[in-house]
Amino acid sequence: MNSLTMQRRVAIALLLALTVGGFLILIDGHNPFAAYKVLFFESFLDYWGFSNTLVKASPMLLAGLAVIIPMRAGVFNIGGEGQIYIGGLFGAIFALALPDLPGVLGVPLIFLSAAIGGAFWAAIPAYLKAYRGTNEVIVTLLMNFIAIHIVSYAVAGPLLAEGAPYPYSDEVSEAYRLPILMPRSDAHAGIVIGLAMAIILYFWLRFMPSGFQLDLVGRNARAAAYAGVDEKKTIIRAMLIGGSLAGMAGAIEVIGLKYRLFHLFSDGYGYDGIVVAFLAALNPIVAPLTALFLAGLSAGAGTMQRAVGVDSSVIEVVEGLVVVFVAAALVAPRNVSKSFLKTLLSQGLNSRSEHSEKKEA
Amino acid sequence: MEPYLKVTSIEKTFGAVRALDNVNLLASRGECIAILGENGAGKTTLASVLIGLYQPDSGQIELDGSKISVTSPAAAIEHGIGMIHQHFSLFGAMTAEENILIGLPGEKRGAAARARIRQLCDDFDFTVDFNVPVASMAVGMKQRVEILKALFRDVSILILDEPTSVLAPTEVAPFLQGVRKLVANGCLVFFISHKLDEIREIADRVMIMRHGRVEGILPVATTPMTQMSALMMGQDASGQPAEKTEIKETRLDTVLAPKALVVSDVSLTAPSGAEILKDVDFTLHAGEILGIVGIDGNGQTELSEVITGLKRQTSGRILLGDKEISNSTITERISDGVGFVPEDRHAEGLVLSLSVEENFAFRSVGEDKFMSGRLISRRAISKIAEEAVKVYDIRPSNPKLNASALSGGNQQKIVLAREVARARNLLVVVQPTKGLDVGATQFVQDQIRAVAQSGVGVLYISTELEHVLEISHRVAVMAFGRISGIVDPQNTTLQDIGLLMTASPEEKL
């Protein structure tokens, strides 16, 4: 893979997206440079702002990896959002059911059960894709809504905390809460878990036969078959890994940030993961950077609105533009099969429009 | 006669590579010009410029006296320039008619259009099955659909990129007949090919390219073949025949050699119930090259896939030496020393988005030679690739480049080098010289001979009959999924093989 050319192309795509976004800010009657400056300072150089960026980056990173791994096997996982919800649910159930374990044991087990939850939710579309030929984009996308409502039901019913004014569960015990990295802020250790995963997955894809073979399936499924790689099993494996990663993102939200299971607790992180993945050109080791970038955009958007008066929805437009430009930039160098890339491109666009629809709703 | 097409000083560079270097050409309607050259000589690039896939860096194209700029294949079609590529651009799920009419406005797709397609078929003696999707057609028929697509759009200039390399031997003559009709009807046909005898048969003039330059445009009738190949190879004519004489080789005493591969009563039935292979039965000895010929689509490809493990036979047994491999996986057969050069190097043999060196490793990345401990050793892969790149003279010689950056011949060298290295017991090659020039073909065949001489059994499946007859110790002929006969290439006439190729399953031979 000629990753240098690819990353250069992605960088250009990013600049283009910011430029077009800048014109939108200009049309809105504001100075784009001032707006971007505020955005940058507030999300990366300000203590509180940066802590906020980190808080958002943790689930985005894991959700991004949850898109990258299946995509490297040629499967488009739009279902990160649902897998986050089910992961959060499983993690919370474990934490609430066994509240008295020591943290060193409890926290890994919470992550494990969250990963199992996410993997379970991803296994359904994976099976349908591998053995029934069903389009995974549709199935994963629709299952997101099911998952969101399952969590809403759980926290409004069986898990509802006593006397809660709002659908949320009881608090998880203190032993299970992730340590805080930046004192007095919300910035928790979730980002470390994401980073570790990114590094592990990078090495796995590059230096272990099973990871290399997963990548083969996405690049050329027929050549992979010729190399003795079972395409169906690989699809299942890739989706299970993706689901586990997204599920862990759900656990991070529960035991890192909110300490309870809330309804609607993930604000589209599963979809942000798609942007993270695209922007990283599907390279796990680049994903932490792109997650930080996207989290920064999102964290700074509010401040930008307050300080410069630019509507924060401009940032959503910029995110959308990033996907469009990066997808265009990826077409030429990866040069997998044409149809795969066409699907990739069009699906990328569709998913974003679904995303904004969902946010509007 | 006024030239219909005038190409002046066309230049095209890709990075540091001069793909086209001051190309000039005058051509008239009603002539067939062959374009001859090694892989990477610039033939396909020139064609791509003519049909608007590439824009030349400089130079101009005049059509019928006026300058034109061909900015896209669509613009080329408007100017009446069409091309049939080596790799077809058809929609597999659609029928022939849908493929031919695609992109046309609705009013041009009615019954009249369909009638015209059938008329064209009759005019050029093309057999096309209009009831099935293109994906289930044999290659020869797909090609006819491609040509019909161009003819339907009233092209006056048709570029054929190695059109016969995909055809069965029996399909070549009718195809050339069709081309002749095109030319007689005033078409200007460019015929990109390496096959000198075909060029001799079909072309009026031959344009010889080398390193992006035109070495000469000569009348075919008065130019000896030796001069053509000398210009193409950049050698003096006397150097050529010397290489040819080396080909003769002592025949192998197959009876004494141990068995490398035993295929016994292998049948393969498609889910639809169609018998793709039926009681295929033969023995391949160590050191032997067994050729398998047949009209394209008579089970040869599937036989190669069953032997290498890509498909599972419905019944029958396969033995590698003494070891039964009937139910082994591909990976097991790979580690048993079975090399396989598949028919389609782009779709199957290579991963074009991976680097050249990764392409050497991808088929068996878990093998010890690519590993250090439990991890893939990138350094070991580089080392193995660098060596193979040197031995096989793969160009450009940078193994970090993507495989897609290499020409077809060099890509094929990667596949061959990789599979030859693996083939300790058996090498199965399918169409190994498809689309390769004379030099590369020679190289590939020499490598395959060397493998056989080292004691490996080689199954050589190809539709290029002359090549198979030249290289094989014995030749098995397939027809309708059966082996209709195994013959000695020294004592068999082409007519006999032709008869076996078309032998219907009912006849006992």
Q: Is the pLDDT of residue B249 over 50?
A: no
Strand partners, B213: B210
Yes or no, beta carbons of A335 and B352 under 8 Å apart: yes
Yes or no, beta carbons of A208 and B402 under 8 Å apart: no
Q: Would you call B94 an interface residue with chain A, using a CB distance cutoff of 8 Å?
A: no
**Do B137 and B119 share a structural domain?**
yes
Confidence of residue B173 (pLDDT cuts 50, 70, 90): confident
**What integer pLDDT is reported at residue A349 of this predicted model?**
43
DSSP string covering A228-297: T--HHHHHHHHHHHHHHHHHHHHHHIIIIIISS-BTT-SSSHHHHHHHHHHHTTT-TTTHHHHHHHHHHH
Yes or no, beta carbons of B349 and A206 under 8 Å apart: no
Domain assignment of residue B343, yes or no: no
Integer CA distances (angstroms), B119 to A193, B41, B116, B125, B129, in order? 68, 38, 5, 10, 14
Domain assignment of residue B346, yes or no: no
**Do B177 and B309 share a structural domain?**
no
Question: Which of B348, B376, B402 shows the shortest C-beta gap to A226?
Answer: B348
**What integer pLDDT is reported at residue B233 of this predicted model?**
66
The pLDDT tens digits for A236-260 are: 999 999 999 999 999 999 999 999 9
For chain A, what is the largest distance between any 2 Cα atoms, rounded to a whole number of angstroms?
61
Q: How far apart are CA A350 and CA A68, in angstroms?
A: 18
Yes or no, beta carbons of B340 and A226 under 8 Å apart: yes
Q: Is the pLDDT of residue A207 over 90?
A: yes
**What integer pLDDT is reported at residue B136 of this predicted model?**
84
**What integer pLDDT is reported at residue A255 of this predicted model?**
96
CA angle B456, B461, B464 (to 5 degrees): 125
Measure in Å the smallest separation between the Cα of B229 and chain A Cα atoms: 35
Compute the average pLDDT of residues B311-337.
94
Q: Which is nearest to B158 in space by CA: B106, B222, B114, B202?
A: B202
**Do B157 and B53 share a structural domain?**
yes
**Do B483 and B508 share a structural domain?**
yes
**Do B63 and B25 share a structural domain?**
yes
B271 phi/psi in degrees, rounded to 5:
-55, -30
Q: Would you call A336 an interface residue with chain B, using a CB distance cutoff of 8 Å?
A: yes
Q: How far apart are CA B465 and CA B292, in angstroms?
A: 9
**Do B87 and B49 share a structural domain?**
yes
Yes or no, beta carbons of A1 and B402 under 8 Å apart: yes
Please give the residue range of the domain that contains residue B371.
Answer: 352-411
Mutation for A interface: B88, B89, B331, B348, most A CBs within 10 A: B348
Domain assignment of residue B224, yes or no: yes
* Helices and strands, number each (H, E), in chain A: 14, 0
B19 phi/psi in degrees, rounded to 5:
-75, -35
Domain assignment of residue B328, yes or no: yes
End-to-end CA distance of chain A: 40
Yes or no, beta carbons of B349 and A212 under 8 Å apart: no
Confidence of residue B168 (pLDDT cuts 50, 70, 90): low
**Do B146 and B180 share a structural domain?**
yes
Q: Would you call B351 an interface residue with chain A, using a CB distance cutoff of 8 Å?
A: yes
Q: How far apart are CA B166 and CA A90, in angstroms?
A: 57
Q: How far apart are CA A258 and CA A11, in angstroms?
A: 34
Question: Considering only alpha carbons, which residue of chain B is nearest residue A339?
Answer: B91
Q: How far apart are CA A215 and CA B448, in angstroms?
A: 31
The pLDDT tens digits for B108-122 are: 888 889 999 998 888
Which CATH number is A291's domain given? 1.10.3470
**What integer pLDDT is reported at residue B235 of this predicted model?**
55
Phi-psi region of B275 (alpha: psi -120 to 50; beta: other; left: phi over 0): beta
**Do B293 and B224 share a structural domain?**
no
Name the H helices within B40-195. Answer: 43-50, 73-78, 96-101, 111-123, 139-152, 169-184
Tell me which chain B residues have a C-beta less than 8 angstroms from the C-beta of A223: 347-351, 362
Q: Would you call A3 an interface residue with chain B, using a CB distance cutoff of 8 Å?
A: no
Domain assignment of residue B342, yes or no: no
For the record, the structure tokens of B388 come out as 């193979």
For the record, the structure tokens of B296 come out as 């394209």
Mutation for B interface: A3, A222, A226, most B CBs within 10 A: A226
Q: How far apart are CA B394 and CA B109, in angstroms?
A: 47
Question: Considering only alpha carbons, which residue of chain A is nearest residue B358?
Answer: A1
Give B173-182 contacts, CB < 8 A, sequence gap 24+. B174/B125, B175/B140, B175/B143, B176/B201, B176/B202, B177/B125, B178/B124, B178/B125, B178/B126, B178/B147, B179/B32, B180/B32, B181/B123, B181/B124, B182/B124, B182/B151, B182/B158
Question: Which of B348, B366, B371 shows the shortest C-beta gap to A223?
Answer: B348
Pick the last residue of a domain from B226, B242, B258. Answer: B242
Which CATH number is B293's domain given? 3.40.50.300
Its ipTM equals 0.82
Measure in Å the smallest separation between the Cα of B423 and chain A Cα atoms: 15
**Do B174 and B90 share a structural domain?**
yes
Domain assignment of residue B118, yes or no: yes
Yes or no, beta carbons of B351 and A216 under 8 Å apart: yes
Q: How far apart are CA B117 and CA B149, in angstroms?
A: 9
Residues 223-262 of A with CB under 8 A from B: 223, 225-228
* Helices A47-72 and A209-219, packing angle to 10 deg: 80
Q: How far apart are CA B355 and CA B479, in angstroms?
A: 39
Identify whether the C-beta of residue A183 lies closer than 8 Å to the C-beta of residue B318: no
Domain tally, chain A: 1
Tell me which chain A residues have a C-beta less than 8 angstroms from the C-beta of B349: 223, 226
Continuous segment of H or E residues that includes residue B252: none
CA angle B334, B336, B337 (to 5 degrees): 70
State the number of CA atoms in the 13 A half-sphere of B375 facing the CB. 10
**Do B238 and B177 share a structural domain?**
yes
Measure in Å the smallest separation between the Cα of B297 and chain A Cα atoms: 19
Yes or no, beta carbons of A219 and B354 under 8 Å apart: yes
**What integer pLDDT is reported at residue B312 of this predicted model?**
94
Compute the average pLDDT of residues B243-263.
60
Q: Is the pLDDT of residue B35 over 80?
A: yes
Continuous segment of H or E residues that includes residue B396: none
Confidence of residue A356 (pLDDT cuts 50, 70, 90): very low
Strand partners, B25: B7
The pLDDT tens digits for B176-216 are: 888 888 898 889 999 988 777 788 889 999 999 888 899 88
Mutation for A interface: B343, B354, B359, B400, most A CBs within 10 A: B354
Q: How far apart are CA A170 and CA A152, in angstroms?
A: 14
For the record, the structure tokens of A325 come out as 């430009």
Question: Considering only alpha carbons, which residue of chain A is nearest residue B403?
Answer: A1
Question: Considering only alpha carbons, which residue of chain A is nearest residue B419?
Answer: A227
Question: Which of B347, B364, B376 shows the shortest C-beta gap to A207?
Answer: B376
Question: Which of B351, B364, B374 shows the shortest C-beta gap to A223?
Answer: B351
Q: Is the pLDDT of residue B255 over 70?
A: no
Question: Considering only alpha carbons, which residue of chain A is nearest residue B379?
Answer: A207
Yes or no, beta carbons of A227 and B362 under 8 Å apart: yes
Q: How far apart are CA A144 and CA B12, in angstroms?
A: 51
> Peptide bond preceding B258: is omega within 30 degrees of 0, i.e. cis?
no
Domain assignment of residue B345, yes or no: no
Residues 6 or more apart in contact with residue A162 via CB below 8 angstroms:
A170
**Do B160 and B301 share a structural domain?**
no
Residues 6 or more apart in contact with residue B471 via CB below 8 angstroms:
B289, B291, B445, B448, B449, B460
Strand partners, B406: none
For the record, the structure tokens of A67 come out as 């898109």
Q: How far apart are CA B267 and CA B388, in angstroms?
A: 37
Yes or no, beta carbons of A209 and B371 under 8 Å apart: yes
**Do B78 and B13 share a structural domain?**
yes
Question: Considering only alpha carbons, which residue of chain A is nearest residue B365?
Answer: A209
Q: Is the pLDDT of residue A170 over 60?
A: yes
Measure in Å the smallest separation between the Cα of A215 and chain B Cα atoms: 10
Confidence of residue B166 (pLDDT cuts 50, 70, 90): low
Highest mean pLDDT among A217-226, B43-52, B403-412: A217-226
pLDDT-wise least confident of A183-187, B315-319, B405-409, B468-472: B405-409
The pLDDT tens digits for A42-73 are: 899 999 999 999 999 999 999 999 999 999 99
Q: Is the pLDDT of residue A297 over 70?
A: yes
Q: How far apart are CA B62 and CA B6, in angstroms?
A: 5
Yes or no, beta carbons of B347 and A220 under 8 Å apart: yes
* Helices B139-152 and B169-184, packing angle to 10 deg: 10
Yes or no, beta carbons of B363 and A220 under 8 Å apart: no
Q: Which is nearest to A69 in space by CA: A248, A251, A194, A205?
A: A205
Q: How far apart are CA A157 and CA A153, in angstroms?
A: 6
Q: Which is nearest to A128 in space by CA: A112, A111, A143?
A: A143
Please give the residue range of the domain that contains residue A21.
Answer: 3-360
* Helices and strands, number each (H, E), in chain B: 17, 22
Domain assignment of residue B347, yes or no: no
Domain tally, chain B: 3
The pLDDT tens digits for A309-342 are: 888 888 888 878 877 888 787 765 444 444 444 4
The pLDDT tens digits for B256-275 are: 678 999 999 999 988 767 78
For the record, the structure tokens of B355 come out as 């680097």
CA angle B364, B368, B373 (to 5 degrees): 120
Yes or no, beta carbons of B354 and A1 under 8 Å apart: yes
